[in-house]
Structure 1
Amino acid sequence: MQPILKEIDSLKNKLRNLRPLNTAELQRLRDEFVIETTYNSNAIEGNTLTLRETALILQEGITIAEKPLRDHLDVIGFKDAFYYIIDLASHNAPLTEQTIKTIHSLVLMNDRENRGTYRNVPVRILGAKHTPPQPYLVQPSIEQLMQHYEKWKQTLHIIEAVALLHLEFESIHPFIDGNGRTGRLLLNFELIKNGLLPVDIKFTDRRKYYECFDAYHTHSKDPGELISLIAEYEKAELNHYIQIIK
């Protein structure tokens, strides 16, 4: 186990033993996080809204002039999907195919025809070191991934397991659009269920993030780079919460 994962376990226990935040404090922090992660996750996928514009849409319901309707819907859909995974995690709901499809349906609210539906056409990810499976292999690939993930959780640290889940999910690329946002939400869903904090992969780190996938497919499926990236984000979030409570 990487030293940082042991440090995260220690920080997780430290946070658990501190005075819990009251409902209003927790909601304020969560709302701030949702705005930032909505901005970053959508920006990684090409959304043109700024962080400030994202906040105005989510907090004030303001429409940003000259910005596409799709960009607005992406923001609202991602926010709804994030609160959906929070609710699921609070009930310790299992990760299932239906969960994945429901999250995707919220994320892709602007595309009624394709939301929550596996793709029916082959796809290529430009610049990627990997070609996703043919459409007829998508569902069995997802089913196999769910089985593998259950085994990974039994033998690996949860951050190692979710890193593999994310890398393999994006490799399958099960939907015609919205795979990245859905995959990052699934990652956070599993972190929250396991007593950790959600992480916000920054738009400014997108190159480093994409390089994690290239490294995985060129280095014999070694998830080390993504494990390190997620772990650094998790460590920062835990320290942030601990400092606030103190």
Structure 2
Amino acid sequence: MVTFNKIEELLHQLNSYRPLNEGELLRLREEFLINFTYNSNAIEGNSLTLQETALIIKEGITIDKKPLKDHLEAVGHKEAYLYVEELVQKKVPISEKVIKEIHSLVLMDRRADRGIYRRVPVTIMGAIHTPPEPYLVPVQMEQLIMHYEQLSSLHVVERTAIFHLEFETIHPFIDGNGRTGRLLLNLELMKEGYPPINIKYGDRKRYYNCFTSYHTNGKDPSEMVSLISQYLEEELSRYVEIVRIANEIR
């Protein structure tokens, strides 16, 4: 069973330090945004390297011989993340409207499909479950939001893990579900005062196995809870060290 004592201890430690100044925070935010965009898009098959992603996001440079789709996915993910930050500031509760707005930014390259629930059946390559038929998607999304609200007594890591697993199970959109789902995961973590996490492309097999485990073990979310906890602990430790050093220099 995963416990969250270490995560809570690290968050308390982080909050005990003097905050970084605006310039330092912007630098960390930019670094995270580039890495998060690269990894989240790469998991879904985007061919841009980390360096190419950085050039597109920071400089607006077009990468020779790379598809326009890949460029738009990088820009769209960046805009979606910046929108998530706005939602965090306003403490906006998760809703179908919020989900569709984030998806509309993610799917910048497919205007006709942005923010619209899929109208055709889909299968997920390598997955052991089949997403629901299109006519069931609106009902299941409504139920997902209601279920998430009922999980408020759980630790944020546990309830976001369950939400993420269920969201990807429904697979409500024709494309962009993974990227949207990981943005929603970070939205909820950040609203609770935690840093966002970046699930690495190199960990994609373990990440996919979390979904397999969920569907083969009676909807037990423990594998996803463990993955999110590990990433959150690592991110908190990194932030604590950065802020500690900055405080010592001051």
TM-score tier (shorter): over 0.9
CA distance in 1, matches of 2:37, 2:201: 10
TM-score by length of 1: 0.98
2:207 aligns to what? Answer: 209
What CA deviation, in whole Å up to 9, does each residue of 1:166-209 have, x standing for no partner? 00000000000000000000000000001111000000000000
1:79 aligns to what? Answer: 78
TM-score by length of 2: 0.96
2:194 aligns to what? Answer: 196
One-letter code of the match for 1:140? V
CA distance in 1, matches of 2:225, 2:65: 39
1:2 aligns to what? Answer: 2
What CA deviation, in whole Å up to 9, does each residue of 1:8-32 have, x standing for no partner? 0111111111111111111110000
CA distance in 2, matches of 1:2, 1:88: 29
CA distance in 1, matches of 2:209, 2:90: 34
What CA deviation, in whole Å up to 9, does each residue of 1:62-112 have, x standing for no partner? 100000000000000000000100111011011010100000000001000
1:99 aligns to what? Answer: 98
CA distance in 2, matches of 1:172, 1:73: 25
SS at match of 2:152: helix
1:121 aligns to what? Answer: 120
Equivalent residues in 2 for 1:19-34, closer than 5 Å: 19-34=18-33
Let me know the Cα RMSD of the aligned residues.
0.7
1:226 aligns to what? Answer: 224
Which of 178, 181, 189 lines up with 1:180 in the alignment?
178
SS at match of 2:173: coil
CA distance in 2, matches of 1:228, 1:218: 17
Spell out structure 1 runs of 4+ moving beyond 6 A: none
Question: Cα offset for 1:214?
Answer: 0.2
One-letter code of the match for 1:214? T
CA distance in 2, matches of 1:90, 1:233: 23
Question: Cα offset for 1:2?
Answer: 2.2
2:42 aligns to what? Answer: 43
SS at match of 2:196: coil
The aligned length equals 244
Percentage identity across paired residues of the two chains: 57
One-letter code of the match for 1:199? I
SS at match of 1:153: coil
Tell me, yes or no, if the aligned pair for 2:2 and 2:225 is still in contact at 8 Å: no
CA distance in 2, matches of 1:28, 1:200: 16
Q: Is residue 2:240 matched to residue 1:239?
A: no
Bigger CA drift: 125-134 or 195-204? 125-134
1:144 aligns to what? Answer: 143
What CA deviation, in whole Å up to 9, does each residue of 1:110-155 have, x standing for no partner? 000101000000111121111111111101101101011011122x
2:132 aligns to what? Answer: 133
One-letter code of the match for 1:224? S
2:248 aligns to what? Answer: none
2:57 aligns to what? Answer: 58
Flag structure 1 segments of 5+ consecutive residues without an equivalent: none
One-letter code of the match for 1:92? K
